[in-house]
C-alpha cells in the first residue's frame, strides 16, 4: 500500500521512453497566443494584465541591471504555475515533484546570480560573507557559516518546491482513499472526509501558485543582492 502511494511520483514511460519531456512541453502549448487585432479576447487580456502586474511587482526592488531578467523570471513563474496546476488533475504527472528537475532549475539560476555579483561588484558580493563590525575571533567561523548558507540556497529552493507539492499530493491521495474505504461502512464520516478533501484541494491549488511565486521571488532576492 505504501508503494502505491508513491507510484504517482514515478516518471511515466511509454515503450521505455520517459514522458517527462512531454509533460514539460505541454504547458507552453496551452498558453493563448496574442493576435494581430486591436482588441483581444478576454483570456489574452487577462493574461497580459497578470503578466504586467507580476513583472512590475517582481522588478520593483531591483535596479535597472536586474530588469534584464524580467522575461526569464516571468516565463519561469508561468511555467511553474502551469506545471503545478496541471499536476492536480487526475491521472496526470507533476514534474515539479522531482527533486532533480527542481535542482536543475535552481542551481543554474542561483549560480548565475552569484557569477554576476562576483563580476560586477566583487567587493560587495564577498562582503556578504562577513557582516560589518564582527569581532576578530569570530571572523573565520562566520565566513564558514555564511559560505555554507550561500551554497544551501539552491538546495533550499529545490527541496522547498518538491516537499510542498509531494506532501500535498500524498495528503490528497490519503484522504481520498479514506473517503472511498469509509463510504460503504460509515457514509456520514465518508461525506465529512470528502468535504475535507474538497477543502484540501482548494488549499493545494493555492499552494501550487504560492510555491511557484516563492521560487521566483527568492531568485529575484538573490539577484537583488548581486546587481
Q: How confident is the model at residue 1 (pLDDT cuts 50, 70, 90)?
A: very low
d(C-alpha 69, C-alpha 67), whole Å: 5
Other C-beta atoms closer than 10 Å to the C-beta of 214 total: 16
C-alpha cell at position 20: 517527462
Q: For residue 220, give the C-alpha cell.
A: 529575484
Distances in whole angstroms, Cα of residue 197 to Cα of each of 24, 75, 91, 95, 180: 27, 31, 17, 23, 11
Could you read off the pLDDT of 208-226 as tens digits, one per residue? 999 999 999 999 988 888 8
149, 157, 188, 199, 222 from 181: Cα distances, Å: 46, 37, 12, 19, 47
Average pLDDT over residues 111-136: 82
Cell of 153: 540556497
As a whole number of angstroms, the distance between CA 66 and CA 199 comes to 39
The enclosing H or E element of 13 equals strand 13-14
State residue 7's pLDDT score.
Answer: 66
Q: What is the DSSP string of 122-188?
A: HHHHHHTTS-TT--GGGHHHHHHHHHHHHHHHHHHHHHHHHHHHHHHHHHHHHHHHHHHHHTTT-HH
Looking at the domain assignment, is residue 1 inside a domain? no
* 172 in a structural domain: yes
Q: Is residue 170 part of a domain?
A: yes
Q: Is the pLDDT assigned to residue 188 strictly greater than 80? A: yes
**What's the grid cell of residue 112?**
548565475
The total domain count for the chain is 1
100: domain range?
7-226
Q: At residue 60, does pLDDT exceed 90?
A: no
Query: What is the reported pLDDT for 66?
Result: 79
Amino acid at each position: 500500500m505504501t508503494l502505491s502511494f508513491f507510484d504517482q511520483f514515478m516518471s511515466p514511460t511509454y515503450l521505455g521512453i520517459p514522458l517527462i519531456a512531454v509533460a514539460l512541453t505541454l504547458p507552453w502549448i496551452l498558453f493563448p497566443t496574442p493576435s494581430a487585432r486591436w482588441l483581444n479576447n478576454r483570456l489574452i487580456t487577462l493574461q497580459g494584465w497578470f503578466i504586467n502586474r507580476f513583472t512590475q511587482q517582481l522588478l520593483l526592488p531591483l535596479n535597472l541591471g536586474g530588469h534584464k531578467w524580467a522575461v526569464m523570471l516571468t516565463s519561469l513563474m508561468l511555467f511553474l504555475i502551469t506545471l503545478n496546476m496541471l499536476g492536480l488533475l487526475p491521472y496526470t504527472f507533476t514534474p515539479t515533484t522531482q527533486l532533480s528537475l527542481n535542482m536543475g532549475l535552481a542551481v543554474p539560476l542561483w549560480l548565475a546570480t552569484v557569477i554576476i555579483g562576483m563580476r560586477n561588484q566583487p567587493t560587495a558580493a564577498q562582503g556578504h560573507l562577513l557582516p560589518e563590525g564582527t569581532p576578530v575571533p569570530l571572523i573565520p567561523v562566520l565566513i564558514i557559516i555564511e559560505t555554507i548558507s550561500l551554497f544551501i540556497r539552491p538546495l533550499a529552493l529545490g527541496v522547498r518546491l518538491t516537499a510542498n507539492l509531494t506532501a500535498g499530493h500524498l495528503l490528497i491521495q490519503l484522504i481520498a482513499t479514506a473517503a472511498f474505504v469509509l463510504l460503504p461502512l460509515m457514509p456520514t464520516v465518508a461525506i465529512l472526509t470528502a468535504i475535507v478533501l474538497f477543502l484540501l484541494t482548494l488549499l493545494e491549488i493555492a499552494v501550487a501558485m504560492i510555491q511557484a511565486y516563492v521560487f521566483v521571488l527568492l531568485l529575484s532576492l538573490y539577484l537583488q543582492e548581486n546587481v
